[in-house]
Structure formats: structure tokens, C-alpha cells
Structure 1
Amino acid sequence: MTDPAYLRLRLPLTASPFTVLRAAVRALHPDTRAVRSFRTARKRFYRQMPCAHAARQAAGDPPSG
């Protein structure tokens, strides 16, 4: 099962980890990125997105969307 937040990024299977990270950063609203108390949750989100992408690449899933 793929993370719904990762699916909303709509990235191709060939995207690099850096591209995935940039897309994850852009996916969050600027006000959300500015809240200091969300820092731990943001870091966890930023770590999960490249992991979800790597898992999708390993599985060879077709692009979603």
C-alpha cells in the first residue's frame, strides 16, 4: 500500500530522491512550513516521501495518476 501523501506528489518512477524531496517541500503550505511546533512532523514527512518513492521503484509500480 502506497502512502496517500506520496501519491498526491504525482512523481514519475524515474524521479531522483532530490526531486522527491523538493516536491514534498512544495506540497506543504507555506503557513504549515512556518509553524515551529510542526517541525518534528515535517521532518518525518520529508523522510517518509523518499522512502515511499524508493519502495515504489523497487516494486516497479506503474506511475499513478
Structure 2
Amino acid sequence: MTDPAYQRLGLPATASTYAVLRAAVRALHPDTRAVRGFRAARKRFYGQMLCAHAARQAVGDSPTG
């Protein structure tokens, strides 16, 4: 099952890891990105998005929208 947060990024399966990170950063509210205390949570979120993208690429999934 694909992560709903990853699906909201709206990326094709062929997107690079850098594109996934850019989309994940843009998905977060600027106030959330500014809080130093949320750094570990942000890093965990970015890692989850990269893992979901890698899993999708491994399966060869078609784009979802």
C-alpha cells in the first residue's frame, strides 16, 4: 500500500530522488520547515517519501493521481 502523503506529491515513477526531495520540501508548510525542533521529524518524513518512491520504482508502478 502506498503512503497517502507520497501520493499527494503527484510524482511520476521515473522522477529522480532529488525531484522527490524537492516535492516533499514544498509539501510542508513554511512554518513547519522553520521550526528547529521539528528537524528530526522532517528528516523522517523525507526518508519515508524516498522509501515510498524507491518501492514504487521497484514494482514498476504506473503514475497515480
TM-score by structure 1 length?
A: 0.94
Is residue 49 of structure 2 the alignment partner of residue 45 of structure 1? no
2-structure distance, mates of 1:36, 1:16: 27
2-structure distance, mates of 1:27, 1:39: 15
2-structure distance, mates of 1:40, 1:32: 12
RMSD: 0.7
Q: Structure 2 regions of 5+ residues with no counterpart?
A: none
Counterpart position of 1:64: 64
Q: What's the % identity of the aligned pairs?
A: 80
Shift in Å, 1:55: 0.2
3-state secondary structure, aligned to 2:9: coil
Counterpart position of 1:28: 28
Q: Structure 1 regions of 5+ residues with no counterpart?
A: none
3-state secondary structure, aligned to 1:6: helix
